[in-house]
Every structure is written in structure tokens, then in C-alpha cells.
Structure 1
Amino acid sequence: YWDGPEGEQCPQRTWLATRVGAAAGGHRGEGCVAGLVGAAYRIILLRPGSALAALQTAAADSVTMATLGAVFGLSTCLSAQVREEPEDPLNYFIGGCAAGAVLGVR
């Protein structure tokens, strides 16, 4: 992700942020776990009624976090391109706001 300046290689950066989001991002007040890790905690703590319900919970959480990672990665990269300031922390702020807005809509 950090191999080149922000604003370049947007598809690769977005794909990486999507994978990271699916595996380990932030999750509804549970601290620094998400996607598969957060789903595992949620399944253990909330004990779904069946294996199918547990699988649905894991899938839904992973898809949500992967989506947030993709939105963050794409927004950050596009912001750096449009603003022509690749090393500005404001790009990450914009990406975080975009991802937060998507989570709020969900």
C-alpha cells in the first residue's frame, strides 16, 4: 500500500483496503476487530440459534467491512488525485468520512 505516493495505482490500493477491511478493521464498538475476526467474536458472544445463522452473521459482517475498506481505499486515492496533494492527511480524513457515511446508510 505504501510503495508509491497516494493517488497512484487506485485499483490495487482499493483491492488491498478491501481485503484488509474484510479481515481486520473496526467494528461497532468492539475495538479493533472486524470482518472475519469481528464475526467470530460476535458469534461466540451472541450465540446464534443455528449454524446457518452463524454463517449469515459472518458473511454479513465480512461484506460490510470489505465494503468499508473499498470505499476508504477508493476515496482516499481519488481524493489524492483530484486535490493533487498525495501526502496530505486530509485525504485519509475524506476517505474515513466516506466510509463512515456508507456505514451510516447501512
Structure 2
Amino acid sequence: MGYSDAPDGEQCFQKMLICGKNAGLVGVIASTYDLLMVTKPQGYVPAIGCYIRGTIPLAAAGLTFATVSCMATNLRHKDDKFNYFLGGASAGGIIGVAKKSFRLGIPVAFLLGISAIIFKDSLDSKWELLPKIDHQMGTFDTIKNDYTRT
């Protein structure tokens, strides 16, 4: 199941799980980069702290986006881009609170709100934000291709 499989305002819990899982995965990747390339903590406890500081705020931002946009759709009884802006702005606010920076939270909230509007427009107009590119050779799933005639 994907995020846009159900109409907005329905199946809020599944949408929360999808957004939280994907944002948490991005948080794990960002934390691993931070751990290996930037902070380089010495020991297990500082390394775990690095993962917690990076993963939990991003997963919470994903959960917040899904929750606020779904609840705004249910409360306003409208399915428009403003609900997604509210969700994106509240997710940016979570990032600002996690970093304890008002100067970071406001711009991130605005940028995530605008990004959410663009995402909603892509869903409504049925255009792809990142189009899928099909490769014939040189991928990880080359076992699926039949090269007997080449």
C-alpha cells in the first residue's frame, strides 16, 4: 500500500505508518552518514545517541505530516492543498523543536509546507514528481532479464 492509494482523510493510521517508516529510514541513512563522516563518536553509547538524535525527529516529522494533513482533511471537510501545507509546516516545526532552533524551524516549516503543496499538486494532476526510469542492463535485478538472444 502506498500513501496515495486511499483518498485523503481515510485510513489515517496506515498513512501515518507509511510516512513514519519512510521518514525513519531517511533518518537512519542521515544518522549513518553523520556517524561515519561528520561526528565520528568514540564508543557505543555516543553512536547510539547519534542515531537517536537523527532518526527520532525525522520519524516524528513524518508521523506529524500524515496526522495533521489527514486530520485537517477530516476537520475542514475539504480536500485541497492547504491541508498538505499544514502537515508540511507542522513537520518542519518538529524539526525545529528537535534542533532547539527557532531560526531553523521557521524556514524548514515553510519549505516543507511548499514541498507538500507540490506533492499534493502532483497527486491531483497525475504527474510524477520523480519519474520511474527503466534500465535494461547494469542494475541489481539483471536476473529478471533474458539475455539469451544477445
Structure 1 residue 56: Cα displacement: 1.6
The percentage of aligned residue pairs carrying the same residue is 28
In structure 2, stretches of 5+ residues that fail to align are: 99-150
Deviations 1:39-81 (A, max 9, x none): 0110111211223211221122111111111111100111111
Per the alignment, residue 68 of structure 2 pairs with 75
Alpha-carbon distance in 2 for matches of 1:98, 1:8:
20
**What is the TM-score when the length of structure 2 is the normalising length?**
0.59
Is 2:9 the counterpart of 1:16?
A: no
The count of residues paired between Structure 1 and Structure 2 equals: 95
Structure number with greater CO (CA < 8 Å, separation at least 6) is 1
Unaligned runs of 5+ in 1: 25-34
3-state SS in 1 of match to 2:8: coil
TM-score of the superposed pair, with normalisation by structure 1: 0.82
Rg larger for: 2
State the superposition RMSD in angstroms.
Answer: 1.2
